Amino acid sequence: MPDGVGLDSGSQASVTGPGPSASPATADRSGASSPQVGHGNSLARVARGSAINLVGAAVSAVANFALTLVVTHGVNATAAGVFFATTSLFLIVSSLGQLGSDTGLVYFIARARASGNHGLVRPYLRTALGPVATTGLAAACAMFILAPQLAELTNPGHVSLATGYLRVMAVAVPIALVEQVNLSTTRGIGTMRPNALIEQIGRPVLQLILVAVAVIVGGAAVLLPAWCLSYAPAAIAAWLWCQHLCRPTDVRVPPNAVVERGAFWRFSTPRALTSIIQVAMQRLDIILVGALAGAVNAAVYAAATRFVVAGQLGNNAISLAAQPGLAGSLAREDRYTTNSIYQTATAWMILVSWPLYLVFAIFSHRLVLAFGSGYSGGAVVLLLLSIAMLMATATGMVDQVLSMAGHTSWNLANAFVAVAIMLALDLWLIPKHAVLGAAIGWGAAIVIRNLAALALVAGVLRLHPIGAVTVSAAGLAAISYGAIPWIVRTAIGDGLASLLASVMLGTLCYAPTLWWMRSRLHLDGLLSSLSRRTRT
């Protein structure tokens, strides 16, 4: 069986650990699998998918952070600001261009496989690929033609450089969209490996190498072309891998099985708008800072937020792995398994991200100096956003629960309210407070959106992220990387020695306690999968 969270009913995956997942019962009197066994199998699949995704997320975080260091130290702050603003616009356009098919493919393919209709994989891929490719080409043409006007709007002081960047970026947009459609299909099939190896490891590492060479050889002029070039081999690899995975499932479609194209796009269209809003919440404020407060402030803000993005990668890794399992359990109306996946995934997200966000908050001033003394103004950005992300992580993958339950319109409403609040605060605060204003806007949007989604999940779906496993994870992380570093910083200051001592002492507390609590935290399957990945 492929790695990840495949929903093939014939799979015999198992999980070890306490509670229901360890129940020896395998079937009820009717011969159907019991909820406890379904729960155990589902967690095993989530564990395997999370393991490979976490390895990929770690590599991606290091590569992206190293790329930020290369850019901030390799070119001046003005050129860095234009680069970050343009790449942010690229991510917004490519997110919109997917038309929500990234979530739609996972949702519909996972549900089709859960009902035994494996032959629907290719039809759903074709349903998504045509409109997405067409949209990408149209966006590329518009961006290429309107590049001077967009440059004047986003980087009014550096139109020439920004125009060149935008025209190169236009060529890369449809390539990136084709890559994402193929990778989303592989996730729907039930394997996380292509996404991890191509999108989280291969492309970021190649991107880092190409940008480093560009800084050495050509400077700012070739910075963005080097960054975009990595999408071409990634798209080819994603297409080849997707074709390989589709081949075994390219069987005759049962007469009673149909590709619900209308339902697919009714589901995906709200998700498309939600995705653009999500990326806008992460990237639009960089563009606004550049437009309203100058390219230098945009560089400072973008650099500081790279820490926050690094923390999100671990959350995304677990969330992607859990998506098909949630879709399958919700399709079967198995609330027991759904809630188990939700709470366990939330605990794992806390275990992965809280240590980072706690250290980021406590040592924000020291950490932003890694980009140079001119970036010290980003410390308050890192502090505020780290606090917001601590709160958001505690709600778990609440957006994905809503989406996999079919309520993409609810997600869209939440996202729209959040981004409206962010934009209002940004336009009000950035002209006077620059990066601080942008941080307040994004932080407020993060908290409001997650709390609103949590209220819907708890009130309507009767699901919640809080349980013994999440409380244990939060307590362990807070003590190891919150209390201990705060005491060390209070005693000896916030210098580099204090940072290193805090991380070392926190890890000495965290690692053995994590091992001791591994069964309570349902980590056995995750740790064994990680061990196999690192050996291979």
* Amino acid sitting at position 342: Y
For the chain, percent of residues with pLDDT exceeding 70? 82
Q: Per-residue pLDDT for 17 more than 60? A: no
Please indicate, yes or no, if residue 10 is contained in any of the structural domains. no
Please indicate, yes or no, if residue 225 is contained in any of the structural domains. yes
Q: How is residue 67 written in tokens?
A: 């790329």
- The pLDDT, as a whole number, for residue 18 is 30
Please indicate, yes or no, if residue 485 is contained in any of the structural domains. yes
Of the listed ranges 134-138, 253-257, 413-417, the least confidently predicted one is 253-257
Q: Per-residue pLDDT for 51 more than 80? A: no
- The pLDDT, as a whole number, for residue 24 is 32
Please indicate, yes or no, if residue 29 is contained in any of the structural domains. no
Confidence class of residue 410 from pLDDT cuts 50, 70 and 90?
Answer: confident
In angstroms, rounded to a whole number, what is the distance separating the alpha carbons of residues 76 and 115? 56
The separation between CA 98 and the C-alpha centre of its own chain, rounded to angstroms, equals 15
The separation between CA 73 and the C-alpha centre of its own chain, rounded to angstroms, equals 26
pLDDT tens string 520-536: 887 765 545 444 444 44
- The pLDDT, as a whole number, for residue 398 is 82
Of the listed ranges 45-59, 70-84, 96-110, 140-154, the least confidently predicted one is 45-59
- The pLDDT, as a whole number, for residue 56 is 78
- The pLDDT, as a whole number, for residue 286 is 78
In angstroms, rounded to a whole number, what is the distance separating the alpha carbons of residues 7 and 1? 10
In angstroms, rounded to a whole number, what is the distance separating the alpha carbons of residues 74 and 83? 12
Contacts of residue 281, defined as CB under 8 A and 6 or more positions apart, other chains included, come to 415, 418, 419, 422, 442, 445, 446, 449
- 143 is in which domain, residue-wise? 35-535
Q: What is the pTM of this model?
A: 0.64
Which is more confident, 392 or 278?
392
Exposure of 76 in the CB half-sphere (CA atoms within 13 A): 5
Q: How is residue 515 written in tokens?
A: 């091992």
Number of domains in the chain: 1
In angstroms, rounded to a whole number, what is the distance separating the alpha carbons of residues 474 and 467? 11
Q: Please, what's the b/e burial string for 398-435 (b: 16 or more CB within 10 A of its CB; e: otherwise)?
A: bbbbbbbbbbbbbbbbbbeebbebbbebbeebbeeebb
CB 5 within 8 A of CB 325: yes
Closest listed residue to residue 388, CA positions, set 464, 310, 430, 440: 440
Residue pointed to by tokens 């362990």 = 476
Confidence class of residue 390 from pLDDT cuts 50, 70 and 90?
Answer: very high
Please indicate, yes or no, if residue 24 is contained in any of the structural domains. no
In angstroms, rounded to a whole number, what is the distance separating the alpha carbons of residues 530 and 351? 15
CB 438 within 8 A of CB 285: yes
Q: Please, what's the b/e burial string for 317-334 (b: 16 or more CB within 10 A of its CB; e: otherwise)?
A: bbbbbbbbbbbbbbbbeb
Please indicate, yes or no, if residue 5 is contained in any of the structural domains. no
The kind and range of the H/E element at 452 are helix 435-456
In angstroms, rounded to a whole number, what is the distance separating the alpha carbons of residues 154 and 298? 11
Please indicate, yes or no, if residue 342 is contained in any of the structural domains. yes
In angstroms, rounded to a whole number, what is the distance separating the alpha carbons of residues 283 and 275? 12
Please indicate, yes or no, if residue 25 is contained in any of the structural domains. no
